[in-house]
Amino acid sequence: MVEVRYFAGAADAAGCAHEIFDLPGGSTLAALKAAVQQRHGSSVTDVLRVSAFLVGDDLTRDPATTLGDRVDVLPPFAGG
């Protein structure tokens, strides 16, 4: 089980702030992104493409990253 938390535009695209995915142990960020796209359709595709992902204490965009218990989806933030 992986808890996914969405922030800013990612939450808007997904239509929720967090949700749970039942993925096998050892799954990668690529598998999670595919599961999110399958659940939410094309509305999240562009956001996932430009987002960074906080997996444990590691900020990454590497699709081969092995998932932990929680992943935060962090789209680019606007502001000054």
Q: What is the CA angle 63-66-67, rounded to 5?
A: 105
Residues facing residue 74 across a β-bridge? 52
Residue 77 has pLDDT above 90, yes or no: no
pTM tops 0.85, yes or no: yes
Taking only the tens place, the pLDDT of each residue in 16-65 is 999 999 999 999 999 999 999 999 999 899 999 999 999 989 999 999 99
